[in-house]
Structure 1
């Protein structure tokens, strides 16, 4: 095996895991409907690292789909600073949705244990491994085994769990036709991988670029955070995520000829977001834009799907870009510097 072989395989086969994620949600439809039939004061999504960013994307989507208050919190904060997230004098229960690739991350395990000890409410777990401690703590688990990985940086696993979270949110909000439409995503994802792999390689291998900014707003901000993390983890490159309009408030001072600005464009706010990209281009940045459609957009999905549904399509090409950049820098995408697949701590 050559460096990066696992990562490449996991990126390019991830659509199989998307389909399984949808199947898992469908098989659990009755149990999920029962779970969401209860009244909750709020829904908290939690995870660590990539799955915290997944939580941010999922919480925004869940609230938009259902109208229920939903937010994300790092599992470490839920554990160590619980009162900043959950009121001490709670009356109505909270639904906790804990997301973990491995099901063994210490902060997530301890946060869920504390949540249950204090009888805060029900727990839904989304993970890729069944025989691990976290699913055993859950009232209901969604396990997507095809999302399992050999590499350390999450690609296929993240996408599989994100698809499950989206389908779950659509189910909770009774968006049944949109949930059914998600089965079209796998074909669209494979088309993107084949159509834009060369663009991902071109930008990724250009080592004249020394900083990357990933812009996304609304339900796309968590995805921008995750794309940023892949670039940071795999390639040791300066990378940051921002909301589109926030980027003008200071961060744009860093933009120049060695900058790549990646825009995860929405349909609903396209003109405002596109204006930010054009402004950064005028300052010398290389622009990489992703959207469902648009004449000047770099990567077009052409999905003919609702905006709530196709978020996972932003991921594969950006994951490939990080993969190619890591190789160009002589790094192993499978084994990012200083990282391990699971963070397990003896002190918590």
Structure 2
């Protein structure tokens, strides 16, 4: 969440910054701004709302200069407003700062600075930073920034400019992502790689408490003691085109259509008929597993729902007990972890604050940590012992689609690997599952092609206030993700319940016209789920079912049926979630909502 861009070069900085910020819109934001340094003066333009508001402001009042910093803000301290927008300056506007993260002790710093004569204009935690830098400034900007960070507690990625050193940008990260781009006689800082891809493929991936000193002579990386850090440049191999819409109306529908390729790419070289499962450089062996007493899968949001499926399939295929938990709760309940624990963390961005905190806590307690992430070079990927990448490519839309299905593929692949190590499945059983997995991309394509029924259902029910999702077994895991997707994209209140829990309270919510969505892909539980559908239908519910091709009997009890190709029940979540994603998408489109950037949400949640 939030986006930072900084630029030093020969071109117009405001144009470069706005373009870079546009590549970070997927992170979620409610205001935008830039600070440009020109002829020794800092000029700031910022405003509440979308980036286009800032562009209109800059069109009327252009800013000249070829050094500057920019920001898209997602409000944490202080409501979205012009004054609370970034960049923030000190009182006499000689220092300007952009900041992602949260300064946890900002109130005590603010009181201390106030006692020193400093005044504050905004309600933000960020405003203490430029004032701290000003307080500590004694002729060297990097010294002042280092001293300021020593005073601050919390998470941050920071870019700083000063009128007193007009050809310099200083930046630092701690628990919030920041990269440095190296172009031809121009340099960048950014929260994420897409912001600089149009200009360079050469980037430095910063670690915590690494400082950047950027001048026209080049870039220097130092630690807190100002000792120079030698770091290899990371060369970006994916195309900028992957972050463009490619003829689709928006990124969400584009990324839904990219799921067959994303699934195929995530399996490539790992799932090959007749060959053992290959998990990149993961060195987990049978001996390691024999020394494991407990397995945790920990994640947030959509990644958590992928973890629910992971728990099910690892237990079923490998016979290993697994606990699944939400990272924001897990990290505070003193979980029982030690050197006999396997901790699996799942994060699309690899920067999710709560998940990253769990990873670090687990390592301190001696856990072996395996990360599932989509971003090479992310904090999670660098800090885990083992990494299983989901090759979904850049996911721009805030609500996750293709990252989720690739996380499912990662869970199946990991489960098969563990089952093979534990010798819980025969070679024939493993080959059967692999064969069906390799068929999934074509079957996903078929589901996406048959989307008319979903569009019709969405056009009838897009004004509903409530919807309910029911399922049993793995269908319940899908119901949870489907409910979240509907909430995110449409702002319709929705809940997911296990079918067997209906009589324990939720059925009281069913009345004439209530919309219920249910999937029927778990053969052993299918008849029980049909009974649950009939229970709500007889009370007036309007039901849409997801069923295997050929299961026409279910049509007797429902308003609409979306058929998916048959597969192993174990793999059905990969296919069953597609109609749910499309339902949320078409409902949001009918309501005229911004499907790529839902209100209040951010792509990468880098603060608690």
Question: How far off is 1:187 after superposition?
Answer: 0.6
**Equivalent in 45, 49, 67 of residue 319 of structure 2:** 67
Check conservation: 2:454, 2:562, Cα contact below 8 A.
no
- In the alignment, does 2:267 pair up with 1:13? no
Aligned residue for 1:295?
552
Q: For 2:484 and 2:374, locate their aligned partners in 1 and report how far apart those are by CA, in whole Å.
A: 20
Residues 257-312 of structure 1 deviation map (CA, whole Å, 9 limit, x = unaligned): 33221112211111111100011111111111113341234122232x32112320
Residues 182-225 of structure 1 deviation map (CA, whole Å, 9 limit, x = unaligned): 01011111111111x11111122223533211112223322211
Check conservation: 1:179, 1:309, Cα contact below 8 A.
no
**Equivalent in 448, 451, 455 of residue 201 of structure 1:** 455
- In the alignment, does 2:532 pair up with 1:276? yes
Q: For 1:138 and 1:55, locate their aligned partners in 2 and report how far apart those are by CA, in whole Å.
A: 17
Question: How far off is 1:3 after superposition?
Answer: 10
Aligned residue for 1:327?
589
**Equivalent in 376, 398, 418 of residue 172 of structure 1:** 418
**Equivalent in 185, 192, 206 of residue 447 of structure 2:** 192
With normalisation by structure 1, the TM-score equals 0.91
**Equivalent in 306, 309, 318 of residue 54 of structure 1:** 306
**Equivalent in 299, 323, 331 of residue 79 of structure 1:** 331
> Which region of structure 1 is more displaced relative to structure 2, 203-212 or 242-251?
203-212
Q: For 2:473 and 2:410, locate their aligned partners in 1 and report how far apart those are by CA, in whole Å.
A: 19
Question: How far off is 1:29 after superposition?
Answer: 6.5
Question: How far off is 1:20 after superposition?
Answer: 1.4
Q: For 2:392 and 2:364, locate their aligned partners in 1 and report how far apart those are by CA, in whole Å.
A: 32
Residues 136-178 of structure 1 deviation map (CA, whole Å, 9 limit, x = unaligned): 1112111123243111000111111111112221232235221
Check conservation: 1:255, 1:280, Cα contact below 8 A.
yes
Q: For 2:478 and 2:331, locate their aligned partners in 1 and report how far apart those are by CA, in whole Å.
A: 24
> Which region of structure 1 is more displaced relative to structure 2, 319-328 or 143-152?
143-152
- In the alignment, does 2:389 pair up with 1:132? no
Check conservation: 1:4, 1:333, Cα contact below 8 A.
no
- In the alignment, does 2:575 pair up with 1:313? yes
Which of the two has greater helix per residue?
A: 1
With normalisation by structure 2, the TM-score equals 0.53
Check conservation: 2:257, 2:448, Cα contact below 8 A.
yes
Gaps of 5+ in 1: none
Q: For 2:463 and 2:378, locate their aligned partners in 1 and report how far apart those are by CA, in whole Å.
A: 43
> Which region of structure 1 is more displaced relative to structure 2, 275-284 or 15-24?
15-24
Residues 224-256 of structure 1 deviation map (CA, whole Å, 9 limit, x = unaligned): 111100000100001001111102221111112
Call closer, same or farther: CA 1:290–1:115 in 2, change over 3 Å.
same
Check conservation: 1:3, 1:334, Cα contact below 8 A.
no
Counting matched residue pairs gives: 338
Q: Secondary structure at the match of 1:284?
A: coil
Aligned residue for 1:255?
510
- In the alignment, does 2:357 pair up with 1:114? no
Q: For 1:253 and 1:36, locate their aligned partners in 2 and report how far apart those are by CA, in whole Å.
A: 51
Check conservation: 1:60, 1:71, Cα contact below 8 A.
no
**Equivalent in 226, 238, 252 of residue 481 of structure 2:** 226
Q: Secondary structure at the match of 2:592?
A: coil
Gaps of 5+ in 2: 1-244, 272-277, 421-428, 555-560
Q: Secondary structure at the match of 2:569?
A: coil
Which of the two has greater strand per residue?
A: 2
Check conservation: 2:469, 2:496, Cα contact below 8 A.
yes
Check conservation: 2:280, 2:388, Cα contact below 8 A.
no
**Equivalent in 153, 158, 168 of residue 399 of structure 2:** 153
Call closer, same or farther: CA 1:343–1:30 in 2, change over 3 Å.
closer
Query: Considering only aligned residues, what root-mean-square deviation do their CA atoms show, in Å?
Result: 2.1
Call closer, same or farther: CA 1:47–1:187 in 2, change over 3 Å.
same
Check conservation: 1:63, 1:69, Cα contact below 8 A.
yes
Which structure is larger by alpha-carbon Rg, 1 or 2? 2
- In the alignment, does 2:505 pair up with 1:243? no
Q: For 1:310 and 1:23, locate their aligned partners in 2 and report how far apart those are by CA, in whole Å.
A: 20
Q: For 2:385 and 2:531, locate their aligned partners in 1 and report how far apart those are by CA, in whole Å.
A: 46
**Equivalent in 191, 211, 233 of residue 466 of structure 2:** 211
Q: For 2:354 and 2:449, locate their aligned partners in 1 and report how far apart those are by CA, in whole Å.
A: 38
Check conservation: 1:234, 1:323, Cα contact below 8 A.
yes
Question: How far off is 1:34 after superposition?
Answer: 2.0
Question: How far off is 1:30 after superposition?
Answer: 7.7
Q: For 2:491 and 2:386, locate their aligned partners in 1 and report how far apart those are by CA, in whole Å.
A: 37
Call closer, same or farther: CA 1:188–1:146 in 2, change over 3 Å.
same
